[in-house]
Structure 1
Amino acid sequence: MKKRFLKTILPIMLLITAVFLIGSGCGNPDPIYDQYNFWPDIDQDGFGDASVNGTFYSIAGAPANYVRDYSDCDDTNIAVNPDAIEVPDNEIDENCNGLFGITFYKDSDNDGFGDPNSGSEYELNFGDPAPDGMVYNDADCDDTNDMINPLADEVVGNGIDDNCDGDIDIVEYYKDADGDGYGAGSALPPPATGVNNNLDCDDNNPNVHPYAMEVENGIDDDCDGIIDEII
């Protein structure tokens, strides 16, 4: 038994002891001293700045307002981070998913103009087509009738505001020089003909009129008084 202990059990015990001693000398057993990448969290929302490279620190030695996350797309704004709620129509990607919240409106009569009481928010890229059955604008005053919308002709005597301008059975004609359906200038004297609205802000460009898609070109494409807004 003694020989067996000396030849078998003792060497195993010595080996285990050696492994334990050597292992305990390799690095600190406390994980707070291990090195990790940290990113600055300037706005202190718990998410690090995605636009900068990480820096190695231990958990114990990391500076204040540094975190091990790098998913914040705007580290100067506490309301912008992956956990934020997307706010529609403000050109900001609050939840950092690369998309923007935009309000679209149901166009039940398919005349290109939406019902102002049917807005729904969708997240997509600016310039993407509207979801099926929806449009970007809320300009329709009767979304059950495709003959009633801002481009319709006002019909005298029917008691309806056909062109959604707030007037009933009042017909005035305006020159539409670019043929986009939107007129400009002062009302033409009878018996002139034209269009029943004067909503165009550039009657020499058929791509510029109310409810047109705004694009980044230095022009107020949709006649809302703002140049190159995203929506």
Structure 2
Amino acid sequence: MKKRFLKTILPVLLLVSAVFIIGSGCHGDPNDYSYNFWPDLDQDGFGDANVNGTMYRTEDAPADYVRNNEDCDDANPAINPDAVEIPDNEIDENCNGLFALTFYKDDDEDGFGDPNNSGVFEVNFGDPAPGGTSYNNADCDDTDPMINPKADEIVGNDKDDNCDGDIDFFEIYADNDGDGYGAGNALAPPANGVHNNLDCDDTNPEVYPYAMERDNGIDDDCDGITDEFI
């Protein structure tokens, strides 16, 4: 019995005692420990994500420091992970890396959106429009894919096929780059061309109204602004 006590019971008792002794040493006031803190200059409760943290005991941390680094713009209290995203201002208010933009319903899938039916989605710059929507609101009849700014006007159908405000009337314009959008002065019939003169660069087939704007130093969508989101 004595040997059994020495070989089994005593080691177990010593182990249990050690656990209690060591475990009790791990409990203490959290304020005695050091943590990473980040500056919160705009005092919105979120620390600057663009700087390294600094170790402080909680009681020693400066008043304008917090224990997170989730703020993508620590100079603006309206920008932080809890902020409400504001559409179409090209600012990522909630720091999720996406931007809120207004998109327009494109029921007829002709690439042109309904100005009376829109919704807000968060996307990356350069992402395609969410399914069933369009970046633009240029469609004057979103139930007919043959009616949009790029369509040919058909005389005699009593419709504004190309959404230019005129019914059963059109002029012909040269489309030198073949993108479906013309430029310059109207051509004398029976010249071949397109029924619009909306192109701002008729030498580049990737530049035309309502094109996807890219970060390339070019006004891709002919709206007079370069490298904007929409």
1:33: how far off? 4.4
Paired position in structure 2 for 1:50: 49
CA distance in 2, matches of 1:214, 1:90: 15
Structure 2 equivalent of residue 72 of structure 1: 71
For residue 60 of structure 1, give the secondary structure of its aligned residue in structure 2. helix
Q: Secondary structure at the match of 1:186?
A: strand
Residue 224 of structure 2 is matched in structure 1 by 225
1:194-220 deviation per Cα after TM superposition (whole angstroms, max 9, x unaligned): 111111000000000011111111111
Count of residue pairs the alignment pairs up? 209
Which is worse superposed, 41-50 or 95-104?
95-104
Which residue matches 1:208? 207
2:145 maps to 146
Given the alignment of the two structures, is residue 175 of structure 1 paired with residue 174 of structure 2, yes or no? yes
For 1:144 and 1:192, locate their aligned partners in 2 and report how far apart those are by CA, in whole Å.
31
Runs of 5+ unmatched residues, structure 2: 1-16
Give the drift of 1:69.
1.3
Letter in 1 for 2:60: G
Moved more, 116-125 or 217-226: 116-125
Q: Report the secondary structure of 2:31's partner residue.
A: helix
1:149-172, CA deviations, whole angstroms, 9 ceiling, x for partnerless residues? 001111223322111112222211
C-alpha displacement of 1:230: 2.6
Aligned residue for 2:92? 93
- Which secondary structure state, in structure 2, belongs to the residue aligned with residue 185 of structure 1? strand
1:3 match: none
**Whole-angstrom CA distance in 2 between matches of 1:43 and 1:199:** 46
**C-alpha separation between the residues in 2 aligned to 1:50 and 1:97?**
12
The residue number in structure 2 matching 1:116 is 115
Q: Please, what TM-score do these two structures have when normalized by structure 1?
A: 0.83
Q: For 1:113 and 1:163, how far apart are their aligned partners in 2?
A: 11
**Partner residue, 1:8:** none
Distance in 2 (alpha carbons) for counterparts of 1:230 and 1:117: 21
> Which digits, 9 at most, give the CA deviation of each residue in 1:11-33, with x for residues without a partner?
xxxx9xxx7xx96xx99x54434
- For structure 1, the residue ranges without an aligned partner over 5 or more in a row are 1-14
Q: Which moved more, 1:208-217 or 1:157-166?
A: 157-166
Write the distance in 1 (CA, Å) between the matches of 2:100 and 2:184.
36
What is the SS of the residue equivalent to 2:55?
strand
CA RMSD of aligned residues (A): 2.1
Q: Deviations over 1:128-159 (max 9, x none)?
A: 22222122211100000111100111122332
Map of 1:9 onto structure 2: none
- 2:145 alignment partner AA: D
Helix, strand or coil at the partner of 2:76: coil
The whole-number CA distance in structure 2 between the counterparts of 1:165 and 1:42 is 52
Q: Which amino acid aligns with 1:125?
A: N
Pair 1:133 & 2:143 matched: no
* Structure 1 equivalent of residue 194 of structure 2: 195
Partner of 2:35, secondary structure, is strand
Deviation at 1:102, TM superposition (A): 2.0
